[in-house]
Structure 1
Amino acid sequence: MAASDSAGDDSLYPIAVLIDELKNEDVQLRLNSIKKLSTIALALGVERTRSELIPFLTETIYDEDEVLLALAEQLGNFTTLVGGPEYAYCLLPPLESLATVEETVVREKAVESLRTVAQQHSPADLEQHFVPLLQRLAAGDWFTSRTSACGLFSVCYSRVSPSMKENLRSHFRALCQDDTPMVRRAAASKLSELAQVVELEYLKSDLIPMFVNLAQDEQDSVRLLAVDACVSIANLLPQEDVEQLVMPTLRQCTGDNSWRVRYMVAEKFTELQKAVGPDITRTDLVPAFQSLLKDSEAEVRAAAANKVKDFCQNLDKAHQESLIMNNILPCVKDLVSDPNQHVKSALASVIMGLSPILGRQNTVDHLLPLFLSQLKDECPEVRLNIISNLDCVNEVIGIQQLSQSLLPAIVELAEDSKWRVRSAIIEYMPLLAGQLGQEFFDEKLNSLCMTWLMDHVFAIREAATLNLKKLVEQFGSEWAENTIIPKVLAMSRDQNYLYRMTCLFCINVLAEACGTDITTRLLLPTVLSMAGDKVANVRFNVAKTLQKISPHLDQAVIQPQVKPILDKLNADPDIDVKYSASEAIAGIAGLG
């Protein structure tokens, strides 16, 4: 008898422990117990999970948000633990409670899990269990449950009976007209999802009136979400219906009083363009795009400027050039000198993409002057966005034209009095080198790169050093041996000790890029020759450089050549030189 009592106690153990842990004051302990739910459910088996664990969890929805969030997430993956899809409805009660709580992230996670569970229901179970839950949430007293309901219509609509579908559309219509802005906002955000699954006749008769109302809502936060629905609905309608059913609302959104709605239109503009097709784009969207590019709010202009290339690229080929030249380019010219730097920067990141669309002559006549103007802009981001996209133009007009027009501007930037500007152009030099090719680079830009190594600002010398490494990686070690290395090694004999130090810094990074042969044959002798430098700081860096390049040396030279020099530096009168040499000796010994 005692044994069977004990067995009975054991069978209750997981639930008893869970109850104790969930009542504990320590949030972390409660959180950990929720994260172990799947293990507990496995121990209990499917029947006891359904009859004991799920009801218990349904009654404990009163906890900290963090714990509830973990619970909402766990329950979405619980279907197999309650016995599979035919018992998935058992998970609905706790998730329904979680979908009504105050904390938004918990509700969102509960809705996500409800959507997952709904997909595992049979059509009969959807009608019997899931739809009633959705109806309760949609008619709930608190706005929290009604906002959650909005996210559940699209997952069950297509698998229920026609009468039930009508009921669901009716409920969704009520949510679109709810008194609470948060609910209307949630309905507007889910309208496009529902539009994807509703039959075309009801899309026209039921959903489009909802969309039109939401697009005229008194709250701009609701109206801007209607713009997203506009894209989905236009994609779903036959072309002839778009003009009549969607365009009046879209025109209204483009000229909305709220800049946030206009911003959303600008953000979605190329998606709208694809959805409405070439004819409506030509008659309606081109003028709308012009007005967005001239908008009074900088945020709207920047969002529209960002879309210039894509919008122009997607224009109907037969009218593309004339639409760009007559309608878009005049606006673009104004934006080049926009007072807001974010607008100019957004434009600079895409404007070069117009070159392949407009062709050689238009690029030379109309775009090059704009590029040159942007290359002289006071905002570094504008200049760099132009430089980083030079390859688009190079393909269209060729290197000769580019060099005549753009090179003076690049050189001007490279010699700018502000060191941060020089630093930024250095950063783009490897990119430029790749775009313009080795021959052009050697002829026009190589000397600039060497000049930076002798800049009076340390940050520039440092950036120039890293630049050399990237160039070698791009053009190869043979190019480095012929073009770069002789000039770098010549710096080891410069009167200014700072440039002798820069020579060592260059060797540090070039060793890795050039490989063992060049490092041993060309770089090492120069480093060794500098070990007797009269400036302690140089000797200190010789020791550091020897340690740094030793993995890239032919190991046969370490003992006869490197070690004696380090031993000599280890006996240096300067304490820092000694320390650096001893570190290098230890480091090289570690290699062996």
Structure 2
Amino acid sequence: MDPLGDELTPIAILIDELKSEDVQLRLNAIHRISTIALALGPERARDELIPFLRENVDDEDDEVLLALAEELGKGMEEFVGGRDYGHVLFIPLEHLAVAEETLVRDKATDSIIKIAAILSPSQLEEYYIPMLKRLSQGEWFSSRTSSASLYASAYPRVSPDTQTELRKLFTTLGGDDTPMVRRAVSKWLGPFAKNLSRDHVISDALPLYRKLSQDDQDSVRLLTVEDLITIAQQLGPAEVGSQLLPQLRSSVTDKSWRVRYMVANHFVELAEAVGPVIVRDEMVTAFVQLLKDNEAEVRTAGAGQIPGFAKLIDNRETILAKIIPCVKDLSTDSSQHVRAALANQLSGLAPLLDKEATIENLLPLFLHLLKDEFPDVRLNIISKLEQVNSVIGNELLSQSLLPAIMELAEDKQWRVRQAIIEYIPLLATQLGRTFFDEQLANLCMSWLGDSVYSIREAATINLKKLTEVFGVEWAKVAIVPKVAAMGSHPNYLYRMTTVLCMTTIGPSLTVEVIRDHVLQVLLTLITDPIPNIRFNVAKSLEVMATTINSTPEGRDISEKRIAPAVDNLRRDVDADVRYFANRAFQKAVAMA
């Protein structure tokens, strides 16, 4: 018996819902396709549901078509009879692969590739390859565009004769009159070339790459940069030198900045692919040219590749003679984005140079960038200091850093102050306890009194992290007394910060410190005239009870000091105070 009824069949229900004017109802219907297929059974799903989807799903809403393309690739083959019948799903997916909307086409081809992966070679030859040919020779550019993505996955699993045919079809697509199709071929040439033998890379992929790399559309040429990397990886160094150098040079000097940007953005991968000889003879000069490019976007991309490429040079004298002068120019670049990218990568050069060269060439640049007017530049420098510290040592680095840290800590933009707070634990780890205690401890405490709540909150989290870095004994002397002193401040915000801080650092403290120092402050504030402070004290005491429950002494403290204190708050005039006091009391009693 049909589980969905004799009269109202699953297909009829689906038809009604897909014809609805309500997009959400149509989407719900699509998401239930597997359920409907299960109700119909494999044979009826193949004979009725799949043809219906091909003939009737022509929705005007791309969201519905996208959902269908996705659902068909999510294990739908098990509802149409398993992998032996998985190819029937190509029927609606081929239709979706020709859709006008790019997202729909991409999802359809993704699903086609997933299904093809479970099919046998004979099924691919019988069903997949004919579909691929139809798409490749389709009248609409959308059909031919989709087909480009389907070659790479099928190629290794078909017969040699079919492989020959696929190489010819793919090459034909590369000469298509429509730029969108050529773009798709450029995008998928690399993945396709990975499946070719070395001989076929030379005979088929290389000529197609050369043709596309000289296309009159820069949107096509820029995609060939990754193809160049893939093809270079398939060939030996000698062949790269004889076959690819002209294209490499022309890409670096391309008239379109977007192509040069792609080269700069993938420069390390490109250098790794072409080998050390070409890196030495060609790539250093090319890289310097990109770092001096007229377009800021290209210089920004190049700056992000500096340490990675410098490692491949493997010659300190070349780095000092060729790369460092460009780095110095970039440190004063007119674009803040270039300077920020450089600041994020500059420290990576330090391990490649010795201490003397780092102090002479890099340290002045660090100090210059630490004074940059753009906050991101300064923050990027500070966040990546560990490598520099390992080369030149704490003392010199800390002396150089302090003025910049102080300036950032007092920046008028609260987000800048918040960012430097987040880096303080890292700096503390890098520069050591002595430097911190002498130069940064008071600064960290001053943030607790900031006018912006987010800064005060970040400051308390900072103190917790510092406790984890330097230890509880340090916190007992350096943090807890200073925080406790704020508990008697006439301004209630300071008292509130005291409670917040104790709550935050409490889990990092020992039972003894909580007993002797923290509880004394909290129990004093339990009678504060401000209800917000009283209920936050209750919340804090709940945290303390949870923290100390692991020892008999802690459970005794919960029973004799915390429980009686919050019990009094359970009769407070403020409802919120009573609520949190009840929670804290239950926790304290449970712990006892």
How many angstroms does 1:586 deviate by?
Answer: 4.0
SS in structure 2 of the partner of residue 507 of structure 1: helix
CA–CA distance in structure 1, aligned partners of residues 122 and 412 of structure 2: 75
CA–CA distance in structure 2, aligned partners of residues 363 and 322 of structure 1: 13
What TM-score do you get using the length of structure 2 for normalisation?
Answer: 0.88
For structure 1, which segment, 238-247 or 35-44, has the greater mean C-alpha deviation from structure 2 after superposition?
A: 35-44
1:162 matches 2:165: no
Return the match for 2:23 from 27, 33, 38: 27
Aligned partner of 1:263 in structure 2 is 261
Aligned partner of 1:575 in structure 2 is none
Aligned partner of 2:433 in structure 1 is 438
Q: 1:144/1:507 Cα in 2 relative to 1: closer, same or farther (>3 Å)? A: same
CA–CA distance in structure 1, aligned partners of residues 532 and 159 of structure 2: 83
Aligned partner of 1:342 in structure 2 is 337
Q: Contact 1:309 / 1:350 at 8 angstroms: preserved in 2? A: yes
How many angstroms does 1:55 deviate by?
Answer: 2.2
Count of aligned residue pairs for this structure pair: 574
Structure 2 residue ranges without an equivalent (≥5): 546-556
Q: Contact 1:515 / 1:552 at 8 angstroms: preserved in 2? A: no
How many angstroms does 1:455 deviate by?
Answer: 5.3
Corresponding letter in the other structure for 1:189: K
Deviations 1:490-540 (A, max 9, x none): 34456777655544443343333325432232122234445677xx55x86
SS in structure 2 of the partner of residue 350 of structure 1: helix
Aligned partner of 1:96 in structure 2 is 94
Aligned pairs (5 A) from 1:407-422: 407-415=402-410, 420-422=415-417
SS in structure 1 of the partner of residue 299 of structure 2: helix
* Aligned residues with identical type, % of pairs: 49
1:545 matches 2:537: yes
For structure 1, which segment, 379-388 or 89-98, has the greater mean C-alpha deviation from structure 2 after superposition?
A: 89-98
How many angstroms does 1:478 deviate by?
Answer: 1.8
How many angstroms does 1:36 deviate by?
Answer: 2.5
Return the match for 1:127 from 104, 125, 128: 125
Aligned partner of 1:377 in structure 2 is 372
For structure 1, which segment, 501-510 or 222-231, has the greater mean C-alpha deviation from structure 2 after superposition?
A: 501-510
CA–CA distance in structure 1, aligned partners of residues 562 and 230 of structure 2: 72
For structure 1, which segment, 145-154 or 420-429, has the greater mean C-alpha deviation from structure 2 after superposition?
A: 420-429
Deviations 1:301-326 (A, max 9, x none): 111111111111232x3xx2112111
Aligned partner of 2:49 in structure 1 is 53
CA–CA distance in structure 2, aligned partners of residues 168 and 540 of structure 1: 73
For structure 1, which segment, 417-426 or 357-366, has the greater mean C-alpha deviation from structure 2 after superposition?
A: 417-426
Return the match for 2:71 from 68, 74, 84: 74
CA–CA distance in structure 1, aligned partners of residues 12 and 239 of structure 2: 62
Aligned partner of 1:389 in structure 2 is 384
Corresponding letter in the other structure for 1:260: R
1:562 matches 2:554: no
CA–CA distance in structure 1, aligned partners of residues 127 and 120 of structure 2: 10
Q: Contact 2:135 / 2:144 at 8 angstroms: preserved in 1? A: yes
Aligned partner of 1:574 in structure 2 is none
SS in structure 2 of the partner of residue 83 of structure 1: coil
Q: 1:404/1:167 Cα in 2 relative to 1: closer, same or farther (>3 Å)? A: same
How many angstroms does 1:405 deviate by?
Answer: 2.6
Aligned partner of 1:450 in structure 2 is 445
SS in structure 2 of the partner of residue 296 of structure 1: coil
Aligned partner of 1:248 in structure 2 is 246
Aligned partner of 2:291 in structure 1 is 293
How many angstroms does 1:175 deviate by?
Answer: 1.1
1:398 matches 2:396: no
Aligned partner of 1:43 in structure 2 is 39
Q: 1:33/1:585 Cα in 2 relative to 1: closer, same or farther (>3 Å)? A: closer
How many angstroms does 1:583 deviate by?
Answer: 5.2
Q: Contact 1:54 / 1:91 at 8 angstroms: preserved in 2? A: yes
Q: 1:282/1:532 Cα in 2 relative to 1: closer, same or farther (>3 Å)? A: same
How many angstroms does 1:138 deviate by?
Answer: 1.0
Corresponding letter in the other structure for 1:74: E
CA–CA distance in structure 1, aligned partners of residues 532 and 108 of structure 2: 63
Deviations 1:331-383 (A, max 9, x none): 11111111211111111111111111112111111111111111111111111
For structure 1, which segment, 62-71 or 13-22, has the greater mean C-alpha deviation from structure 2 after superposition?
A: 13-22
Corresponding letter in the other structure for 2:63: E
What TM-score do you get using the length of structure 1 for normalisation?
Answer: 0.88
Q: Contact 2:375 / 2:416 at 8 angstroms: preserved in 1? A: yes
Return the match for 2:137 from 139, 144, 152: 139
Q: 1:128/1:335 Cα in 2 relative to 1: closer, same or farther (>3 Å)? A: same
Aligned partner of 1:482 in structure 2 is 477
For structure 1, which segment, 515-524 or 356-365, has the greater mean C-alpha deviation from structure 2 after superposition?
A: 515-524
Q: 1:85/1:346 Cα in 2 relative to 1: closer, same or farther (>3 Å)? A: same
Q: Contact 2:570 / 2:582 at 8 angstroms: preserved in 1? A: no
Q: Contact 1:61 / 1:98 at 8 angstroms: preserved in 2? A: no
Structure 1 residue ranges without an equivalent (≥5): 572-577
How many angstroms does 1:253 deviate by?
Answer: 1.2
Corresponding letter in the other structure for 2:148: C
